[in-house]
Amino acid sequence: MYARLVPFDGGPLGAEREQWLQEQVQLLTAAQKALPTRSDILDDVKQAQSELHAYATQFAQHLLQKGAVERGDFAEFGPHVLPGIRRSLTFAAESQLTQFRAQISKWKAQYPAIGWDKAVVVVMAGHQPRTRYLQSQFFDWVFGDRPDFEDKVVFSEMQKPPAALDIKDVPQDAFTLLSKVLLDKDFAVAVFGDPYALQQDVLGAPAAQIIGQWQQQGMKP
């Protein structure tokens, strides 16, 4: 609701936003009714989500009754929904990590001849999730890698979220990226004696030194 309503100028909802809010109330109501039937969700998470649904529904109905929206209407929105969102995020993270761990264990059992200690992973994601991305953290843990090294886990930031992987659809972008990263490491060792030299701008070190000198000299931009 925040993303849909706040970017617009305050004032009357108008027919389009009013219809959209009514649809959200219907979705929230349906989600609230479905919660008791979800055996895959922990009880405390259900309670947190139930409170979240109830408040969001009440908030949407308030806006509908008022027939208008202002940025100030959301002043208390965040503090009310944040606890439920945080608990849901923790539950979702634990669920994903548990599934990933089970899948890795399954693959290792199915393909024991594969050199798992030599495996390299490409994590593909949309814009912004690079820092502390769940999948990157998981595979860093599995293969003992570090984000600043990317020896075993290479992150690929996409302009749009990647499509779901299909066994018949080989992710060529991932293979292309991986081949470039591995080539860069080999070249960096051969030329700079450091496998990580090309994981930063090769002009970065001299640039930092020059800018540092400018600062010491009191130069202004």
Judgement on whether residues 7 and 46 belong to the same structural domain of the protein: yes
Of 19, 27, 33, 100, nearest to 64 by C-alpha is: 19
pLDDT of 161 reads: 62
pLDDT of 187 reads: 78
Judgement on whether residues 6 and 94 belong to the same structural domain of the protein: yes
Judgement on whether residues 91 and 119 belong to the same structural domain of the protein: no
pLDDT digits (tens, 9 = 90+) for 3-34: 788 766 678 888 988 999 999 999 999 999 99
Of 69, 49, 90, nearest to 1 by C-alpha is: 69
pLDDT of 122 reads: 86
pLDDT digits (tens, 9 = 90+) for 132-148: 888 889 999 989 998 88
Q: How many domains does the chain have?
A: 2
Of 52, 72, 98, the one marking the end of a domain is 98
Residue 39: inside a domain: yes
pLDDT of 19 reads: 94
Of 71, 98, 125, the one marking the end of a domain is 98
pLDDT of 7 reads: 67
Of 70, 98, 126, the one marking the end of a domain is 98
**Structure pTM?**
0.70
Residue 214: inside a domain: no
pLDDT of 179 reads: 80
Residue 19: inside a domain: yes
Residue 133: inside a domain: yes
Judgement on whether residues 53 and 94 belong to the same structural domain of the protein: yes
Q: Which residues of the chain have pLDDT under 50?
A: none
Structural domain span for residue 75: 2-98
Residue 110: inside a domain: no
- Bridge-based pairing of strands 121-125 and 153-157 is parallel
Judgement on whether residues 122 and 70 belong to the same structural domain of the protein: no
Judgement on whether residues 68 and 126 belong to the same structural domain of the protein: no
For residue 177, give Cα distances in angstroms to 61, 100, 197, 214: 49, 23, 17, 37
Beta carbons of 155 and 135 less than 8 angstroms apart: no
